[in-house]
Amino acid sequence: MQNNQQVVFLSDGGETVRNLQLYLHPYAEYLLEWFHPTMRITVMKQMVTGLRIRSKRTRARIDRLLERLKWALWHGNVYKTLQKLEDLEEELVLCQGEVEG
């Protein structure tokens, strides 16, 4: 690989992969693929299903937030994705008292 050669890396954004890409070619273009991060959201939805949340409304709000987060991520809307992550974090903090041991 030449120093002046154009290189594009496509990855799931994992730290190990990012470090390797920077080591291999520090001036390359880096693109984040959306498939693997959205699969993690699917796992999060399954985890929420396994929680014993007292309020069905709270569970529905969390499910809706995860769906909106996944949609924003899948469509490449970084601003909306970050906003939905903040909303999800806030909702999870608020519902801590509603989870049965």
Asked whether residue 16 carries a pLDDT value surpassing 90, the answer given is no
Q: Round to whole Å and give the CA distance between 54 and 34.
A: 33
The DSSP 8-state label assigned to residue 34 in this structure reads S
Structural contact between residues 70 and 38, judged by C-beta atoms closer than 8 angstroms = yes
Asked whether residue 20 carries a pLDDT value surpassing 70, the answer given is yes
Stretch 2-27: mean pLDDT:
78
Lowest-pLDDT range of 6-10, 15-19, 39-43, 47-51: 15-19
Integer CA distances (angstroms), 97 to 48, 82, 94, in order: 15, 25, 7
Integer CA distances (angstroms), 88 to 7, 40, 74, in order: 36, 14, 17
Stretch 65-91: mean pLDDT:
91
